[in-house]
């Protein structure tokens, strides 16, 4: 006889445990598809290997009694029926495409952990009130096609299906062509799929948790992101004939601002982040003083107000350095994603689960996957 999940049988539910060995076996089997010599995984979106991964995961879902729906951007929704199927499903999931040198768990763990939850419910003949769904999103890593977080972005109407379809890889193959080739363009319009609540199990908090000797991170929200291009304009000149006092070295000035990006993050604790990850030097010659330097700035923090404060901070620093050196410094905002606090009931459910199971835990904010988390959160009720 099926057990309905209610407040009257919390003791039964609290004793449920997933089969860790079975989950590990699934993770290792999926990791064989695209396995690399160093123990990682290269399974880029919409390749033949991605098709093999999708086929395996959807086969496991079918074997667990789940129905599978694919939408027009190739997002997959694997559904276990509930007692009241008119309710929006409780959803979990992530992605199964990887970086070129990705690991076995990034994204994959979130999908397979969801399937393992369903298997565990089946093992104990437990019927939930609402349906449960496990999702996998298309091209979330963005390693082969841009934009990143493509499947969830189209789902959440952050950009259009046509825009995503037109994206091409380095071999001039489009997303639509490759979706058709591997057989993963479904009939459902992206975004028409309802979601009641969405949970994503991820490993991204691992270093923070290890540093604090905690097992579970209770994620309360995701950081806001501001991406900028910064351009410092000087004057190129020959390295030998030009005395130091007469130089207008754009690189030396740029490095001052780069250092301040990191300092800015330290000035806005505890969640401030500041990164320079890309630098272009012109003319990039060994014996020529750089005349122009363009570099990226990545600023993040836990609230929009903190992001605004960091924006004002780095712009003020750049203005001061420009005045002191006489070189123009231009900062252009190229992308902005708001900070996204998570639903309080969902946060408490994760915290309560960790306490019930006896796992050490701590509150944390997510610095990665900001766009997917923000987009999906914007689609949830409440």
pLDDT digits (tens, 9 = 90+) for 7-23: 456 667 767 899 999 99
* pLDDT: which is higher, 340 or 71: 71
- Secondary structure letter of residue 2 according to DSSP: P
- Give the separation between CA 7 and CA 26, rounded to whole angstroms: 32
Contact (Cβ atoms closer than 8 angstroms) between residue 113 and residue 56: no
Q: pLDDT tens-digit profile of 144-165? A: 998 888 999 999 998 899 999 9
3-state class (DSSP) for residue 347? helix
Residue 82 CB neighbour total at 10 angstroms: 19
Output the pLDDT for position 202.
87
What the block records as the tokens of 219 is: 């994620």
Q: What region does 273 belong to: left with phi over 0, alpha with psi -120 to 50, or beta?
A: beta
Half-sphere exposure of 197 (CA within 13 A, CB side): 11
* pLDDT: which is higher, 166 or 338: 166
Output the pLDDT for position 1.
37
What's the CATH code, domain 3-204+367-379?
A: 3.40.630.10
Given a cut of 70, whether residue 380 has pLDDT beyond it is no
- Domain residue limits, the chain: 3-204+367-379, 224-337
Q: pLDDT tens-digit profile of 340-370? A: 888 899 999 999 999 988 999 999 988 765 5
Q: Do 3-204+367-379 and 224-337 agree at the fold level?
A: no
Residue 323 CB neighbour total at 10 angstroms: 10
Output the pLDDT for position 375.
57
Does the pTM surpass 0.85? The reply is no
Give the alpha-carbon dihedral of 78, 80, 84, 89, to 10 degrees: -40
Contact (Cβ atoms closer than 8 angstroms) between residue 317 and residue 354: no
The pLDDT-based confidence of 304 (bands split at 50, 70, 90) is very high
Q: How far is CA 237 from CA 197, 228, 230, in A?
A: 60, 28, 21
Q: How far is CA 191 from CA 131, 146, 154, 303, 336, in A?
A: 18, 20, 7, 27, 22
Spell out the residues 6+ positions from residue 201 whose beta carbon is closer than 8 angstroms to its own. Answer: 92, 94, 109, 110, 113, 114
Q: pLDDT tens-digit profile of 21-62? A: 999 999 999 999 999 999 999 999 999 999 999 999 999 999
* pLDDT: which is higher, 203 or 262: 262
221 strand-pairing partners: 341, 365
- Secondary structure letter of residue 342 according to DSSP: P
Output the pLDDT for position 378.
56
Given a cut of 50, whether residue 108 has pLDDT beyond it is yes
Output the pLDDT for position 374.
58
Spell out the residues 6+ positions from residue 53 whose beta carbon is closer than 8 angstroms to its own. Answer: 30, 33, 34, 43, 96, 97
Q: pLDDT tens-digit profile of 199-254? A: 999 887 777 899 999 999 999 988 999 999 999 999 999 999 999 999 999 999 99
Given a cut of 70, whether residue 4 has pLDDT beyond it is no
The values of phi and psi at residue 282, to 5°, are: -120, 130
- Give the separation between CA 332 and CA 3, rounded to whole angstroms: 57
- Give the separation between CA 174 and CA 153, rounded to whole angstroms: 17
Q: pLDDT tens-digit profile of 160-203? A: 999 999 999 999 999 999 999 999 999 999 999 999 999 999 88
Contact (Cβ atoms closer than 8 angstroms) between residue 297 and residue 230: yes
- Give the separation between CA 359 and CA 171, rounded to whole angstroms: 47
- Secondary structure letter of residue 102 according to DSSP: B
CATH number of 224-337, picked from 1.10.10.10, 2.60.120.200, 3.40.50.920, 3.30.70.360: 3.30.70.360
* pLDDT: which is higher, 346 or 81: 81
Residue 331 CB neighbour total at 10 angstroms: 16
Q: Are strands 126-127 and 3-4 parallel, antiparallel or unpaired?
A: parallel
């Amino acid at each position: 006889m099926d057990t309905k999940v209610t407040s009257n049988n919390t003791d039964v539910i609290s004793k449920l445990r997933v089969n860790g060995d079975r989950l590990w076996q699934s993770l290792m089997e999926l990791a064989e598809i695209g396995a690399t010599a160093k123990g990682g995984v290269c399974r880029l979106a919409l390749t033949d290997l991605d098709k093999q991964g999708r086929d395996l995961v959807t086969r496991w879902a079918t074997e667990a009694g789940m129905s599978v729906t694919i939408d027009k951007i190739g997002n997959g929704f694997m559904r276990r029926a509930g007692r009241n199927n008119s309710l929006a499903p409780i959803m979990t999931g992530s992605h199964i495409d990887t970086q070129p040198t990705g690991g076995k768990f990034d994204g994959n763990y979130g999908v397979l952990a969801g399937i393992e939850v369903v298997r565990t419910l089946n093992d104990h003949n437990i019927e939930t009130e609402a349906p449960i769904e496990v999702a996998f999103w298309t091209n979330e890593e963005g390693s082969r096609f841009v934009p990143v977080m493509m499947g969830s972005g189209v789902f959440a109407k952050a950009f259009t299906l046509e825009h995503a379809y037109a994206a091409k890889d380095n071999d001039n193959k489009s997303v639509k062509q490759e979706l058709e080739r591997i057989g993963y363009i479904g009939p459902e319009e992206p975004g028409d799929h309802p979601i009641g609540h969405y949970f994503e199990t991820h490993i991204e908090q691992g270093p923070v948790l290890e540093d604090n000797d905690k097992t579970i991170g209770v994620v309360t929200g995701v950081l806001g992101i501001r991406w900028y291009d910064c351009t410092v304009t000087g004057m190129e000149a020959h390295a030998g004939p030009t005395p130091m006092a007469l130089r207008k070295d754009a690189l030396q000035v740029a490095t001052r601002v780069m250092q301040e990006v990191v300092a800015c993050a330290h000035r806005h604790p505890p969640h401030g982040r500041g990164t320079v990850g890309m630098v272009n030097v012109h003319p990039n010659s060994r014996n020529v003083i750089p005349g122009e330097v363009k570099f990226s700035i990545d600023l993040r923090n836990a609230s929009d107000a903190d992001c605004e404060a960091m924006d004002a901070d780095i712009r003020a620093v750049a203005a001061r350095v420009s005045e002191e050196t006489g070189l123009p410094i231009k900062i252009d905002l190229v992308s902005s994603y708001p900070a996204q606090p998570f639903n309080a009931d969902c946060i408490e459910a994760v915290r309560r689960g960790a306490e019930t199971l006896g796992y050490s835990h701590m509150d944390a904010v997510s610095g990665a996957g900001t766009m997917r988390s923000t987009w999906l959160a914007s689609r949830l009720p409440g």
